[in-house]
Amino acid sequence: MACPICSKQAAKPFAPFCSRRCADVDLSRWLKGGYAIPGSRAGEEDEEGFDTSNPPENKPLEFGAKGMDRE
């Protein structure tokens, strides 16, 4: 298996990396957001002016709403 950072042969103690250095390079990329998935930021509005950060199906249930009465 090749190291995902430098393509050298991976070393067992650092798998899937070849060394501690390559493992640290990868961790640094994660922490700095280098592997972030592109998209809109939370709370931004889409083209139609809707806030897409929390669509209705993801909102918490409200107790006491119609159909949610307890006995």
Whether residue 2 has pLDDT greater than 90: yes
> Do residues 38 and 26 make contact, with C-beta atoms less than 8 angstroms apart?
no
Q: Please state which architecture CATH assigns to domain 1-35.
A: 2-Layer Sandwich (3.30)
Give the position of tokens 């070849």: 18
64 SS3 class = coil
At 7-29, the pLDDT tens digits run: 999 999 999 999 999 999 999 99
Q: Domain locations in the chain?
A: 1-35
pLDDT value for 37:
79
CA pair distance 8, 22, nearest whole angstrom: 10
Q: Tokens at residue 33, please?
A: 């957001």
Q: Say which amino acid occupies 65.
A: A
pTM across the whole model: 0.53
What is the tens place of the pLDDT at every residue in 26-37? 999 999 988 887
